[in-house]
């Protein structure tokens, strides 16, 4: 699977390289990943968690300019990821000082299906994990498979390990030069292969069955890479189409800025756009009216009392059903 997996990542990188401002245009996929990553853990993502996921990815990417992917960077990223959301009182940015375990809801440690690394061994084992992360290997994707599995097995934080572990995937691909931007998301495939995902991880811990896990992970990269590539191309085509449309429609020097803002914030309040788009207030309000009247915005929630009007960018239809679930939750 090593050859096909590397070929898939290379093809996806070719698409990423051709997309202007990929972080903006692919922010739709970032939002989807945040939702699915939380759902794998059995929870529904709040708006705060989606925004934190995006902020954590941006923060980690910026830090990679002068700091390697490391324990220090992961602790800082975890702190951003958990700020003000579920798990915020569980020592964000710090390794756990008490045991944790994985099993059915409410189970005791004796009933757990998996017990991660004991607390007294965490510093040593995380140091070993980091050395391997920085080491040279015959294949980077095989290395990533082992890095990911070991992080999940160590489960170093009290909460958010799954979300942070899945963030490691795009950060690793970016840092190692396999992708020009950290826009590769794997949660969709892992959710679809839920049973196999956990069974392979458990088989590593129980029986040392590394080959089965690595093969599973490489197949996941291939399947998700092909899906991501298809969506990225559709997003680029949609952007090009809407760029021509909005330029002709609103006749403003702020036309492209408006479109970029919609792609980065597909669900928003009127006040968000007016405050954050860096467009003069009278012009921003006029643009919203014109774009709304042309059918590019769909009202999700009317303005009632102190509740602000909420809009959805109408072109957010190229993703599967999961983002629409997020839409409804918001």
Alpha-helical regions (H) of 19-121: 22-25, 27-40, 47-63, 71-82
* The pLDDT of residue 305: 82
Mean pLDDT of all residues in 306-319: 70
Asked whether residue 318 carries a pLDDT value surpassing 60, the answer given is no
| pLDDT per position as a tens digit, 170-208 | 999 999 999 999 999 899 999 999 899 999 999 999 999
Percent of the chain with pLDDT over 90: 58
Give the C-alpha separation, 266 to 262, whole Å. Answer: 5
Q: Label residue 315 by pLDDT band (50, 70, 90).
A: low
Give the C-alpha separation, 3 to 144, whole Å. Answer: 15
Segment holding 301, helix H or strand E: strand 297-301
| pLDDT per position as a tens digit, 248-265 | 888 899 999 999 999 888
Q: Is 159 exposed, middle or buried (0-12, 13-18, 19+ CB in 10 A)?
A: buried
Most distant CA atoms of the chain, gap in Å: 67
Mean pLDDT of all residues in 231-250: 88
For residues 149 and 204, the answer to whether their CB atoms sit within 8 Å is yes
Q: How far is CA 215 from CA 137, 236, 262, 271, in A?
A: 17, 31, 39, 48
* The pLDDT of residue 329: 29
Joined together, the tokens standing for residue 138 give 């015959």
Q: How far is CA 85 from CA 62, 182, 197, 198, 267, in A?
A: 22, 23, 26, 26, 19
Joined together, the tokens standing for residue 137 give 């290997």
Give the C-alpha separation, 68 to 147, whole Å. Answer: 15
Pick the CATH number of 2-231 from 1.10.8.60, 1.10.3290.10, 3.40.309.10, 3.40.190.10: 1.10.3290.10
42-46, 162-166, 262-266, 317-321: lowest mean pLDDT where?
A: 317-321
Asked whether residue 323 carries a pLDDT value surpassing 70, the answer given is no
In this predicted model, which residue has the larger pLDDT, 7 or 48? 7
64-68, 136-140, 290-294: lowest mean pLDDT where?
A: 290-294
Give, as one character, the DSSP assignment of residue 267.
Answer: E
* The pLDDT of residue 89: 82
Architecture per CATH, domain 251-329, reads as: Orthogonal Bundle (1.10)
| pLDDT per position as a tens digit, 31-41 | 888 888 888 87
Residues written for the chain: 330
* The pLDDT of residue 86: 75
Q: Indicate the pairing of strand 267-269 with strand 297-301.
A: unpaired
The three-state secondary structure class of 277 is coil
Asked whether residue 47 carries a pLDDT value surpassing 90, the answer given is no
Q: How far is CA 54 from CA 30, 141, 330, in A?
A: 7, 24, 16
| pLDDT per position as a tens digit, 126-142 | 999 999 999 999 999 99
Asked whether residue 307 carries a pLDDT value surpassing 50, the answer given is yes
Give the C-alpha separation, 202 to 322, whole Å. Answer: 27
pTM for the whole structure: 0.85
Whether 2-231 and 251-329 share one fold: the answer is no
- Domain segments of the chain: what residues? 2-231, 251-329
For residues 38 and 163, the answer to whether their CB atoms sit within 8 Å is yes
């Amino acid at each position: 699977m090593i050859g096909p997996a590397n070929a898939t990542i290379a093809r996806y990188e070719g698409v990423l390289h051709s997309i202007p401002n990929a972080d903006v245009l692919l922010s739709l996929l970032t939002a989807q990943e945040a939702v699915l990553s939380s759902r794998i853990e059995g929870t529904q993502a709040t708006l705060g968690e989606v925004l934190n996921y995006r902020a954590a990815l941006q923060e980690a990417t910026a830090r990679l300019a002068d700091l390697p992917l490391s324990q220090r960077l992961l602790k800082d990223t975890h702190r951003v990821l958990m700020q003000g959301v579920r798990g915020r009182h569980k020592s964000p940015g710090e390794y756990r000082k008490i045991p944790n375990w994985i099993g059915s809801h409410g189970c005791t440690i004796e009933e757990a299906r998996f017990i991660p690394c004991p607390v007294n061994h965490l510093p040593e084992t995380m140091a070993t994990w980091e050395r391997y992360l920085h080491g040279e290997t015959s294949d980077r994707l095989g290395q990533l498979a082992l890095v990911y599995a070991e992080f999940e097995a160590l489960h170093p934080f009290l909460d958010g390990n799954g979300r942070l572990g899945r963030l490691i995937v795009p950060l690793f691909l970016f840092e190692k030069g396999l992708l020009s931007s950290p826009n590769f998301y794997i949660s969709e495939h892992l959710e679809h292969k839920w049973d196999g995902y956990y069974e392979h991880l458990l088989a590593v811990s129980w029986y040392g069955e590394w080959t089965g896990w690595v093969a599973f992970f490489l197949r996941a990269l291939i399947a998700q890479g092909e899906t991501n590539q298809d969506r990225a191309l559709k997003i680029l085509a949609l952007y090009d189409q809407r760029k021509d449309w909005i330029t002709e429609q609103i006749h403003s020097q702020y036309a492209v800025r408006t479109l970029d803002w919609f792609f980065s914030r597909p669900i928003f309040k009127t006040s968000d756009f007016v405050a954050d788009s860096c467009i003069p207030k009278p012009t921003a309000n006029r643009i919203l009216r014109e774009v709304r009247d042309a059918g590019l915005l769909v009202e999700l929630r009317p303005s009632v009392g102190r509740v602000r009007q909420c809009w959805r960018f109408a072109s957010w239809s190229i993703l599967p059903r999961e983002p629409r679930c997020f839409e409804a939750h918001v």
